Amino acid sequence: MGVLIGLAVAIGSLVSGYVAMGGHLAVIWQPWEYVIICGIAIGTFIIANPMPLVKDTGRAAREAITGTVPKRDHYLSILGLLYALMRELKNKPRNEVEGHIDQPEESDIFKAFPSVLKDKDLTLFICDYARLIIIGNARPHEIEALMEEEIATLKRDRTKPYYSINTVSEALPALGIVAAVLGIVKALGAIDQSPTILGGLIASALVGTFGGIFISYAFLSPLANKVKATREKQTRVYVIVKQALIAYMNGALPQIAVEHGRKGISVDYRPTIDEVEAATTTGGRAEDLKEAA
């Protein structure tokens, strides 16, 4: 919603200011100039990036516009699942715990938190390191280093759309000049026409420069930053899991280990201790239990 509001304010300010200065909107409405700019930008974007990244960039833009980031309830579900899983690791023999890890989709623990279970990457991350804990030979500092390396790789992969969008944004002013040059070429072809016609053609050509700069700095560049912030918030859940599991490996009780994870949540979405206690003692958030039903 914030993206749409910001874009509406930007375009509204542009149009109202231009009209207030006595400008005519028909002059800046040159659709073929925008076709040239946007078409070249899309084409070079596809050339420069593999198709999986092209598709992921579309998903990242949609997530940024809709604000798809973990909220308080999702963090509570993660902490609740970790607490239940660590209790199993602490109190049950290895053969009983392995079933939850090897087949999480069949596990009562994971099924109690469907919002976490449907995130396949996060579920795999939790199960992989729970399996290493069961093996028992790995040292906590070694597991922590491995987790940090994997999280860094995940963050790097998930923020690639930011760099791809930002690259196109940086190129757009130059593409606007390309459209403007083509417009000037067209105007020079009509050099024998009246000053009124020639002036209109030159004005239309200059719209290309305006369009490239406006789309770059008023839309794509802010969108790229929004994509980066959104994807970084999405990868934050892995840090929460890491902190809780490492605390457990270092000897903390499940309740204390969960608190280590809670402290890593941004204050905007961080649940209170009482909320975490309620989520862990009831075995799941109300939203998750309703979804599971």
55-59, 75-79, 193-197 — which is least confidently predicted?
193-197
Average pLDDT, the chain: 90
In a domain, residue 109? The reply is yes
In a domain, residue 105? The reply is yes
Share above pLDDT 90 across residues of the chain, in percent, rounded to a whole number:
72
In a domain, residue 271? The reply is yes
Express each pLDDT in 131-153 by its tens digit.
999 987 778 999 999 999 999 99
Instruction: Mark out the alpha helices in the chain (DSSP H runs).
Output: 2-20, 25-28, 31-48, 51-66, 72-91, 94-102, 108-111, 114-117, 120-135, 140-158, 160-188, 195-215, 221-249, 254-262, 273-282, 286-292
In a domain, residue 11? The reply is no
Q: 21: Cβ–Cβ under 8 A, 6 or more apart, which residues?
A: none
In a domain, residue 13? The reply is no
Question: Of the candidates 232, 259, 231, which has an alpha carbon nearest to the alpha carbon of residue 243?
Answer: 259
Phi, psi of 29 (to 5 degrees): -90, 90
In a domain, residue 106? The reply is yes
Express each pLDDT in 103-130 by its tens digit.
999 999 999 999 999 999 999 999 999 9
Domain of residue 273 covers: 32-285
* Number of independent structural domains in the chain: 1
pLDDT score recorded for residue 230 = 96
Residue 94 pLDDT more than 90?
Answer: no
According to DSSP, residue 92 is labeled S
In a domain, residue 1? The reply is no
Confidence of residue 292 (pLDDT cuts 50, 70, 90): very low
In a domain, residue 280? The reply is yes
Do 254 and 276 form a contact (C-beta atoms < 8 A)? no
